[in-house]
Chains A and B, each alone.
Chain A
């Protein structure tokens, strides 16, 4: 077909399918749910060696980074596929925080800032993990003045795994080595994405950018994070649905597989419809970010408003349709539920994204 249009590409390429297979196989071997259940209450839920294999050996951390800055020169489309797999497996890994949000923030500065460019090449290779020191719930739409510039920031995701913290202060964005910061773990709802309270001293670290450039870069980082979070939510929802279908086909009650009861079948079919929609929405967001489309802010907001609801619904249905088994600590359903619920608040709630949509498409609230 020779017809070409600017319409977004919502399918997966062969390269993306190959990448998916490689990531899935790595996660299945090294970070299965049983492995995870054994780790979530230890000092660190991160599987040793997994980050090196995923980020470094496989090159997944550098997908968003151009080759001349030491990355893979791929795009948000490929990073989205990695996140789908990390969502399916509910993997504890600083991918969204370091390889997407921090990376995208630094990419906005790399042109002018030598320290940012240098930091970026470390991130791209997976040798360095950096985390933007904002609460996981930070919305891309908040004005910089609303954003915390206090010396202590709470609810920072993956801060414990970070080598470098990107700290926003009144006079700009700083890169602070982890050794110069105080990182105190908090107890997170989502045990697979650790949160911490981060305190840094005024004047510590290296200045990356002044306040205006920093504000724009942070907004870009959070927007890309929100857009790709939709893919994590898609992967998680898909796992919840598949697992629920598998369980209800095998589980017998009243002398029949429970999956043959119409009431349950309808709930799972409805969930499948939601997942089909989530896939289209998440793909559209990844593609819009990858192509730098002017439609990206709207497409991201639509994907977030839709996918965060679908992931929570899928995880809640997974728990319910597993019956008592779904309430146990041994079954991974609760890990998915905790991740889904936490993801719902991450990088702007669905309501914040809807407010953004209202402004973007001119559907204003009542006066």
Chain B
């Protein structure tokens, strides 16, 4: 077992051997991975030291103080938050060794090929087919809402391998090579004017069986690991007061007294209180994780932030009055990063509409809270015992 003292001294050793000021960013990150200081709770040899997850903070604090480069978790969010835990849980040793280091360093960006035009919230209804052909699988179908597909090197993919069994049982989970000639990525222009998402068309894409994660037909269970990690990936960082979107609105309020009205004042204060309580809820969740008592509060965070971001950005547009009628630019761009608080109020207003849809709609997540946290009965279902091919679509 590695303790805080030992981690601190290993981190200092890393900094001494590779001074951040004179070391290439990528080289530093590779050295950090090799020292087991990337994610300390991962196994030795895979970027970690089998240490308690809570001790990551010790390493991060030391490195930040020394001005070391970080691996820009925003840019590699899908790889870090979704692909990595799934690879760790279900990949062969060879797969783990091949993928985890370049993933963590950010040399290889990952995307996630789950949602389809006909299977969004009802993800298990997906129709993309994977058919066994010798040592390979051949994949045909269409995916949608894929962030980072245009820059991704690899994807996690779920596809139907058996249409004759009920929908949750005939799915298999794969690692898909985004450079395969059968992969076509098309930008999907959004409400903001940008194309941060894509449609992905898969035509005769070949995936070696070695890149299957979990058993054939067990992909739904594997996907649960991915989705659970998507929803708990927040909680690492402390957010300062007014750290989110509320800070933007509060600053405008302070700097522009001529814009103030009584109606907006009351609503701004309501939202300020809600934002502060959301921050405290996040802090409480973080403390629970550190104390090794993870609670279901993680589900509250995403739901709360979606509602708050939408309400605050909506108020901001109103607050700006005449300026709120203008928009920065509609020119189609392909951003590498999603920047929720960036650009102008109109952009924030439009972009935040996605917060209650992406990563599980608010309605579906409320069902999950009701059933898994509160223990309320599920709604009657008529799709559980029917073969996927016989479901109405």
Q: What residues make up the interface of A, taking CB atoms closer than 8 Å to B?
A: 1-3, 7-11, 241, 245, 248-249, 256-257, 259-262, 264-266, 268-270, 272-273, 276-281, 283-284, 302, 305-306, 354, 357-358, 361-367
Judging by beta carbons under 8 Å apart, are A358 and B238 in contact?
no
Q: How far is the CB of A139 from chain B (nearest CB, A)?
A: 16
Q: Provide the bound-state CA to CA distance between A245 and B248, in Å.
A: 38
Judging by beta carbons under 8 Å apart, are B273 and A276 in contact?
no
By a CB distance below 8 angstroms, the chain A residues around B376 are: 245, 248-249, 257, 259-260, 264-265, 268
Judging by beta carbons under 8 Å apart, are B375 and A362 in contact?
no
Q: How far is the CB of B299 from chain A (nearest CB, A)?
A: 8
Judging by beta carbons under 8 Å apart, are B374 and A245 in contact?
yes
Extra A-B contacts (4), CB below 8 Å, given A249-B377, A364-B260? A10-B283, A11-B288, A265-B366, A367-B260
Of A273, A302, A365, which is within 8 A of B369 by CB? A273
Of A281, A354, A367, which is within 8 A of B269 by CB? A354
| B260 closest partner in A (C-beta) | A366
Of B266, B272, B277, B375, which is within 8 A of A245 by CB? B375
Determine which residue in B55, B257, B287 has the highest number of CB atoms from chain A within 10 A of its CB, and name it: B287
Q: Provide the bound-state CA to CA distance between A147 and B358, in Å.
A: 52
Q: Provide the bound-state CA to CA distance between A261 and B41, in Å.
A: 41
Near A by CB (< 8 A), chain B positions 347-376 give: 363, 366-367, 369-371, 373-376
Q: Provide the bound-state CA to CA distance between A272 and B283, in Å.
A: 18
Judging by beta carbons under 8 Å apart, are B281 and A277 in contact?
yes
Judging by beta carbons under 8 Å apart, are A266 and B366 in contact?
yes
| B270 closest partner in A (C-beta) | A354
Q: Provide the bound-state CA to CA distance between A256 and B276, in Å.
A: 39
Asked if B134 is at the interface of the complex by the 8 Å CB criterion, the answer is no
Of A245, A262, A272, A354, which is within 8 A of B379 by CB? A262
A-B contact pairs, 8 of them (CB 8 A): A248-B376, A256-B377, A273-B300, A273-B303, A273-B369, A361-B242, A365-B262, A366-B265
By a CB distance below 8 angstroms, the chain B residues around A261 are: 379
Q: How far is the CB of B225 from chain A (nearest CB, A)?
A: 23
Judging by beta carbons under 8 Å apart, are B268 and A1 in contact?
no
| A281 closest partner in B (C-beta) | B277
Judging by beta carbons under 8 Å apart, are A3 and B257 in contact?
no
Judging by beta carbons under 8 Å apart, are B273 and A249 in contact?
no
| A273 closest partner in B (C-beta) | B300
Judging by beta carbons under 8 Å apart, are A11 and B284 in contact?
yes
By a CB distance below 8 angstroms, the chain A residues around B31 are: none
Q: Provide the bound-state CA to CA distance between A284 and B273, in Å.
A: 13
| A259 closest partner in B (C-beta) | B376
Of B4, B58, B254, B272, which is within 8 A of A357 by CB? B272
Judging by beta carbons under 8 Å apart, are A272 and B369 in contact?
yes
